[in-house]
Amino acid sequence: MSYRVVHYINQFFAGIGGEEKADYRPETREGVVGPGLALNAAMKGEAEIVGTVICGDSYFAENMAAASAEILAMIKKFNPDAVIAGPAFNAGRYGTASGAVLEIVAKELSIPVVGGMYPENPGVELFRKSAYIAKTSDSARGMGPAVQGMAVLLLKQLKGEKIGTPEEEGYIERGLRINVFLDKVGGERAAEMLAKKLRGEPYKTEYPMPVFDRVAPNPPIRDMKNAVIALVTSGGIVPKGNPDHIEASSASHYGEYSLAGVLTADEAHYETAHGGYDPTYANKIPNRVLPVDVMRLLEKEGVFKKFHETFYTTVGNGTSVSNAKKFGTEIVGKLKRDGVDAVIVTST
């Protein structure tokens, strides 16, 4: 018996186009498309992709509820035994869309689902409890190992086989607690681990603690009267029309725009590209997110010497940590080059 599998992919891996086609509406195709060929080969005839559902990343991000329902209806028509999505690697919007599709399929159809993502993909944190997500590299260069890992996880579910730990099977830890019975109580196990640690021997904790970045605050500005102050925002305020096409979710880049001669960020010239909050109030008065009017007033009153006439903007909604760090490093370098003393960072 060959199990019936439906594959979800984005517009890029379907060969339709890149960012210029990211608003592509959902459609179905019979059989395999793009990476589905490699997935079929990895499943070695035990399962077969009978249909592919395609959706543009931006379309899904901007219409998540409606797109999820539409795609679920398309998947149902293939009468699948399982659904596989991706691999999305480190593409944030693709990962988020893949995770959302897997979540609704698992909930509504109660069939096995598998995704594939780089650990820093924002889709991981959003959907790792809803589906097995095979750990992949950060780009399509790792396609071979990615589809192999996804195929193994899918087939084990379909055949009712036991799935081992994340380390054994190569999937991302799901954050679920499962009761197990062991020969030694927790106190004994903890004492043994501590003894190994003190002796410098290898040991493995049963509950790894999260690691958070700790950023030491810079010293305060001592002479505000002579300071140059800039604005940076993750609230997505951009010139009208979003000329650099900053994504509504999982941004891959940031914008850099001049404020020379601009006294206020008005609705005629500015808007938000952000897809993670209701844009009504930000679009009506963009100063609410990018307070150009207040900065100009403070500059006129002499609270600081000069308002830096370039602002930097991106979208924090679902943006990967690696991209955020890259944006920050580049922006800081430019601000230092321009002699900026301090930055006001606004969000949503």
Dihedral (C-alpha) 177, 183, 184, 189: value to the nearest 10 degrees? -60
pTM above 0.85, yes or no: no
Q: How many domains does the chain have?
A: 2
- Within this chain, do residues 232 and 95 fall inside the same structural domain, yes or no? no
pLDDT tens for each residue of 68-107: 999 999 999 999 999 999 999 988 889 999 999 999 999 9
- Within this chain, do residues 334 and 238 fall inside the same structural domain, yes or no? yes
- Within this chain, do residues 261 and 332 fall inside the same structural domain, yes or no? yes
- Within this chain, do residues 136 and 230 fall inside the same structural domain, yes or no? no
CATH of residue 35 = 3.40.50.2300
Range of the domain at 298: 224-346
Q: Are 89 and 290 in contact (CB under 8 A)?
A: no
Tell me which of 100, 135, 169 is where a domain ends.
169
Residue 249 lies in a domain: yes
* Percent of the chain clearing pLDDT 90 (strictly above): 76
- Within this chain, do residues 24 and 122 fall inside the same structural domain, yes or no? yes
What are the φ/ψ torsions at residue 80 (nearest 5 degrees)? -80, 160
Tell me which of 153, 169, 185 is where a domain ends.
169
Q: Residue 122's closest CA among 57, 34, 66?
A: 57
Q: Would you write out the chain's pLDDT as a tens digit for each of its 348 residues? A: 689 999 999 999 999 998 889 899 999 999 999 999 999 999 999 999 999 999 999 899 889 999 999 999 999 999 999 999 999 998 888 999 999 999 999 999 999 999 999 998 889 988 999 999 999 998 889 999 999 999 999 999 999 999 988 988 999 999 877 788 889 998 999 999 999 999 999 998 887 777 777 888 888 999 999 999 999 999 999 999 999 999 887 788 999 999 999 999 999 999 999 988 889 999 999 999 999 999 999 999 999 999 999 999 999 887 878 788 899 999 999 999 999 999 999 988
Residue 244 DSSP one-character state: T
Neighbour-count burial of 248, counting CB atoms closer than 10 A to its CB (0-12 exposed, 13-18 middle, 19+ buried): buried
Residue 197 lies in a domain: no
- Within this chain, do residues 9 and 151 fall inside the same structural domain, yes or no? yes
pLDDT tens for each residue of 134-154: 999 988 899 999 999 999 999
